[in-house]
Structure 1
């Protein structure tokens, strides 16, 4: 069998090479690199009557050098008061990103 640029190979050799490439691709693209991290969920609790509650969060993607910040404010009945989110095109340290989210909320 002529494969490429006139090189001859047997059909068994081609099949073995194709299978090896497929297995290598599957190993890289199908198997997870590490076990997934279990998520922990907390139920939101209302603040005392007459108070507001501020929740902040931040996320950092070191690979793409993007950080996201956000906050939400709710009253003692759980009603929405205010919120904001922003994207920063810089890779921040997680604790610094959390601090910036708090700063944005308080401004």
Structure 2
């Protein structure tokens, strides 16, 4: 077995030597769930919405945070609203990730 893909067992740790998988292109933040899945945050500039989606198999949890953006917002105003609402979306995502035990679907 290759050194980089070998998983070492440590009863006090859940980390492995496997390299992390690449994030999807639109994901701006990611939280690891208790079950090993992720909660991914993305931002839709057209609607001004920060979306959070759990990738756990059959979990179905999702949340969206409206940044209250307007079509007349300047890029600076949009950025300010995004920065104002991002901590709210992160808290909801993290709260779910701490509790969710849904595991990811095996890939092989």
TM > 0.5: no
From the CA coordinates, give the structure whose radius of gyration is larger. Answer: 1
Which fold has the larger relative contact order, with Cα–Cα distance below 8 Å and residues 6 or more apart in sequence?
2
TM-score interval for Structure 1 and Structure 2 normalised by the shorter chain: 0.3 to 0.5
TM-score using structure 2 length: 0.34
> Which is helix-richer, 1 or 2?
1
> Which is strand-richer, 1 or 2?
1
